[in-house]
Structure 1
Amino acid sequence: MMTPAATALGIHLRVLVEDSSSSAAQVVVDAPVGSASDEEAILALVEGADVLTFEHEHVPNALLDRLVAAGVAVRPDAAALVHAQDKIVMRSHLDAIGVPIPRWRPLTAREELDDFLAQVGGAAVVKTARGGYDGKGVRVVRASHEVADWLDAMASGAGVPLLVEEKVPFTRELAVLVARRPSGEVRTWPVVESVQQDGVCAEVVAPAPDLHAGTQAEALEVATRIAEGLGVTGVLAVEMFEVPAPDGGDPRVLVNELAMRPHNSGHWTLDGAVTSQFEQHLRAVLDLPLGDTSPLATWTVMANVLGSSLPDPTDALAEVVGRDPQAKVHLYGKQVRPGRKLGHVNVSGTDLADVRARARAAAALLRGERNG
């Protein structure tokens, strides 16, 4: 999805792909095959390049540090990226810079979890510090035996570090996309509402409807403080919980997760904003002036295509665009698997109920649901 913006700006992309049939390899001409942990492959990738950036966080920090020492511009660098890789590091630093987050603690023993559960009222969320995404590596627990396997694996050295945090009684989930370039310029897009399905983002509404002015201001300020406080370069997605204020004022936000890359919560910007998150990421990592982030319509709704009963979602393409010529379909060229993100649909307009219904109907057809 970064390719059209790169082409328009005259930027040459070279992308390291894990498989020659992957989504990126289908659209990027210069796409060598290799693993993100393969030092030789990455050294070949960056030869002659102006900058190295990422579309996921699973890159060894030590390798990135060696690249920086060799003079490669790595953006974001390892010191910033670790906050998206390790939830314990992230939460510790967010605490240090005064960002509101749920109560939490690192977890090493069942007794610690039992004590924390008693403090927070009997239910908590246990997470793996590294590697979890889209609902993976997350368990809601009410007793320590529910994560005994994780604790035993960690104690034996076979598992990853764990943390526990309070189960927040949130009213909805919000997200803020912010872009920052090395010279310090920062821009944010409107606060959006994200709707989850089995731990996976199913829908995004831009801007978040019925958002209180104070909540919006806090969300944008918090996202900017994180980008500047962690030294982020490129696009940063800050996922948040909206929670009721104890004094009855505007709802507050608590930060849940960070992603230092273009993110699913920002896919609406491809068709709904003056500058998409993909173009902005390129501008940011190359230290070019950042683009306007204003929305192009009153509302834009993004609906994800999560799995399909069709052998290929493009089988429904003629019907989707025939029914709604204004719907913008983005398919990723992935093999169909249950629940897999195969693409998304963006619909914009002035009536939120209509826009949402049309986006959902288009995504349903691509999933093979005939009554969508």
Structure 2
Amino acid sequence: MMTPAATALGIHLRVLVEDAASSAAQVVVDAPVGAASDADAIRRLVEGADALTFEHEHVPNDLLDRLAADGVAVRPGAHALVHAQDKAVMRRRLGELGVPCPAWAAVATPDELTDFLAGTGGVGVVKTTRGGYDGKGVRVVRAAADVADWLAAAADGTGAALIVEEKVPFTRELAVLVARRPGGEVRTWPVVESVQRDGVCAEVVAPAPDLHPATRDAALDIAVRVAEGLDVTGVLAVELFEVADEDGGAPRVLVNELAMRPHNSGHWTIDGAVTSQFEQHLRAVLDLPLGDTAPRATWTVMANVLGSALDDPTDAVAQVAASDPAAKVHLYGKEVRPGRKLGHVNVSGDDLADVRARAAAATALLRGEPDPTGEADPA
């Protein structure tokens, strides 16, 4: 998804892919195959490059430090990226920055976990400090026995270390995307609402509807504070819990997760903002002036295509186009598997209910479900 922006800006992309059939390899000409943990493959990747950046966080920090020492512009740098790689490191640093977060603790034994649960109403959320994503590496627990396998794996070194957090009584999830250049220029996009289903983002509404102005300002301030405090270069996604105020005031927000890369919560920007997160990330890591982040429409809804009954969702693209010519389909070229994120649809307009319904209808067609409108051309 970074390729169209790179082409328009005259930027050559080289991407390290896990296999030649991956989504990136289908659209990037210069796509050597290799693992993100392979030092030799990454050194070959960066030969002659102006900057090295990432589409996931699972890259060895010591390797990135060595590349930076050799003069490679690693963006974000390893000192920043570690906060997206390790949840314990992230929580400690956000606490130092005064950023509001859920109550948490590092836990290594059943007794430590039991003690924490006793102070949070008997329920908590245990997370692996590394490697988790899209609901993986996260369990809601009421007793240490619920994660006995994780505790044992962490103890013998075969699994990641663990943290536990309070189970936040949030009313909804929000997200803020922020971009930052090496010189310090920062831009944010509007605060969005992220709707999760089975631990995976299913829908994003931009901007977040019925958002209190004070809550909006707090969320934007937190995103900028995190980007600056962690010395982030590129796009940063700050995922937030919105929590009702007990006294009836503006809802407050707590930081849930961080991602130092273009993020699913920002896919709406491809069609819904003056500058997409992908173009902005390129601008930021190459230290170019950042683009305008204003929305192009009153509302934009991004709906994910999570699994499909079709062997190939592209078979339904003509049906979507006939049903809703303004719907923007983005498919990732991935093999169909149950629940797998295969693509997304962006729909913009002035009526939120209509926009959400149209995005859901288009996604249903790509999932091989009946068109709710009944208007698609069977041909």
Fold shared per TM-score above 0.5: yes
Matched, 1:251 2:251: yes
Write out aligned runs for 1:112-191 (5 A): 112-191=112-191
Shift of 1:247: 2.7
Residue equivalent to 1:92: 92
The whole-number CA distance in structure 2 between the counterparts of 1:195 and 1:268 is: 13
Deviation at 1:15, TM superposition (A): 0.5
Which residue of the partner structure matches residue 204 of structure 1?
204
Whether 1:318 aligns to 2:318 is yes
Superposition map of 1:326-341 within 5 A: 326-341=326-341
Whole-Å Cα distance in 1 between the matches of residues 210 and 119 of structure 2? Answer: 33
Structure-2 separation of matches of 1:371 and 1:27: 30
Q: In structure 1, what is the equivalent of residue 8 of structure 2?
A: 8
Q: For residues 1-372 of structure 1, what are the structure 2 equivalents within 5 Å?
A: 1-372=1-372
Q: Which moved more, 1:152-161 or 1:225-234?
A: 152-161
Give the Cα separation in 2 of the matches to 1:190 and 1:342: 25
Give SS of 2:32's match.
coil
**Counterpart AA for 1:105:** A
Deviation digits for residues 255-274 of structure 1, max 9, x if unmatched? Answer: 00000000000000000000
Q: Hey, what does 2:376 align to over in structure 1?
A: none
Q: Which runs of 4+ in 1 moved over 4 A?
A: none
Query: How far is the alpha carbon of 1:154 from its aligned partner?
Result: 1.0
Deviation string 1:31-86 (CA, Å, 9 cap, x unpaired) is 00000011111111000000000000000000000000000000001000000000
For 2:3 and 2:330, locate their aligned partners in 1 and report how far apart those are by CA, in whole Å: 13
Q: Deviations over 1:278-319 (max 9, x none)?
A: 000000000000000000000000000000010000011110
Q: CA deviation at 1:324?
A: 0.1
Using the alignment, how far apart are the partners of 2:325 and 2:101 within structure 1? 42
| Secondary structure at 2:116 match in 1 | helix
- Distance in 2, Cα, partners of 1:202 & 1:264: 10
Tell me the amino acid that sits aligned with residue 81 of structure 2: L
Q: What does the per-residue CA deviation read over 1:117-147, in whole Å, with 9 as the maximum and x for residues that have no partner?
A: 1101011000000000000000000111100
> 1:104 offset after TM fit, Å?
0.1
The 2-side partners of 1:321 and 1:124 are apart by: 45
**Distance in 2 separating the partners of 1:294 and 1:239:** 20
1:153-202 Cα shifts (integer Å, max 9, x gaps): 11112111000000000000000000000010000000000000100000
The whole-number CA distance in structure 2 between the counterparts of 1:196 and 1:277 is: 21
**Which amino acid is 2:72 matched to?**
V
Code of the residue aligned with 1:254 in structure 2: it is L
What is the CA-CA distance between 1:204 and the residue it aligns to? 0.1
| In structure 1, C-alpha distance between the alignment counterparts of 2:183 and 2:246, rounded to whole Å | 39
Question: Cα distance, 1:246 vs. partner?
Answer: 2.9
Q: Supply the distance in 2 between the matched residues of 1:232 and 1:256 (Cα, whole angstroms).
A: 18
CA distance in 2, matches of 1:267, 1:158: 35
Structure 1 residue 371 displacement after superposition: 4.5
Distance in structure 2 (CA, Å) of the matches to 1:153 and 1:329: 42
Query: Hey, what's the Cα distance between the residues in 1 that align with 2:15 and 2:157?
Result: 34
SS at 1:120's partner residue?
coil
Identity across matched positions, percent: 79
Q: How many residue pairs were aligned?
A: 372
SS in 1 for 2:84: helix
CA distance in structure 2 between the partners assigned to 1:206 and 1:352 by the alignment: 10
Paired residue secondary structure (1:174): strand
- C-alpha distance in structure 2 between counterparts of 1:147 and 1:21, whole Å: 36
TM-score of the aligned structures, taking structure 2 as reference length: 0.98
TM-score normalised to structure 1 length: 0.99
